[in-house]
Structure 1
Amino acid sequence: MNPTSSAGPVAGTPAYWSMLEREADSFSRTRATNQPGDWSDAQRVMSLPRPYGPAGVLDLYTLLVLRAVDRCPAELRDVNGRPDLSMLIRGKSDALTTIDAASSANARLHRGAVTADDVTSAEEQVERVNDLEEVVTAALKSRAGHPKARRRIRRALSEQGEGASEATAIFGILSDVIESVGRRATRCKA
């Protein structure tokens, strides 16, 4: 059964994918131009797939990864030509920064901060975010033009589990990636 929303198209239809593509493009632009710490775009983009449940969130994340893979400048790629997460989030590559980004996004969504209370200890949370960075790294290894790219990225991202805190942390990581790609592309055009 394809979830639907009174405000949106049926999941899986061309109209659904078109809507998500527009939002992924819009978010990619705003992430590149927002001031650091400005998460005004997060609430809009994260509320969009909510009526479609976890599958809608995963579809949106898949499209964000595809944008990063497609638009990543050469200097932020590894020797195999794939986006390199450590270079993309250089200066932000510790898990505490990702937790801060996820907490900011959560605050905009009125979900509360991502804190050590979400897991048994802060150390476990840092370890979990590091694991999620590995999930994003695996997703970034996809080729944007490959016919099964969406499926492969979706599979890699689904490794993150079912929890809202994991999905929010993935969003925080992807936001940092999209911001880095966008800012670098903007500098190259200037």
Structure 2
Amino acid sequence: MSNSAENDDGGLRERKRRATRASICSVARELTASSGLSGFTVEELCERVGISRRTFFNYFPSKEDAVLGHDEDAHFPEDLVAEFLASAKKEPLLEALRTYARRSGESLALTREEFAQLHAVMQREPEILARFFGESIEREREFAALIARREGMAPNDPRAVLSAHVVRHIAWVSMHEFLSAESPQNYRDILDTNIDAAGYLFR
């Protein structure tokens, strides 16, 4: 088999894997929004998606993880981390954070419909909302440590902690605006506007 054919086959498998994963998340959120987290079983979810119970657990350890889209969405992509760290001698921190936030947000590929679905789930299930915010705080700590590493600071340096908090909040506000509004603006433009506003404030 040629390298091209192997790459095509690998690409097809990856697309199928992502499609299956997205379908599991979508159905899990739909069932949770309509029936509550305890209102359906993993078996019922699998039947709706058209997969086996074993396949489900190859993707997610629990229904809660499927609803939140874990686990790969919860971690920092290695290529983005490497690019962010390598930018230390090339550009100011704010610009590096802008690039990181752009690529992170765009990689989520969340539609307005999926965002509304997830929002409905969180409104119905306080447990999911609490877990989302708890894990978001942990991700923010990890992000602060990453910023500190780039800047040569201690992991708990208040400058790194505040930078992580501000940029993650800007990214969240920008994503919320992009997914909630019918504006023709894309996510990058909204993010840039909000980061420029923060830059004006700090100048």
Structure 1 or 2: larger helix share? 2
Fold match, TM over 0.5?
no
TM-score, length basis structure 2: 0.38
TM-score, length basis structure 1: 0.40
Q: For CA contacts below 8 A with separation 6 or more, give which structure has more relative contact order.
A: 1
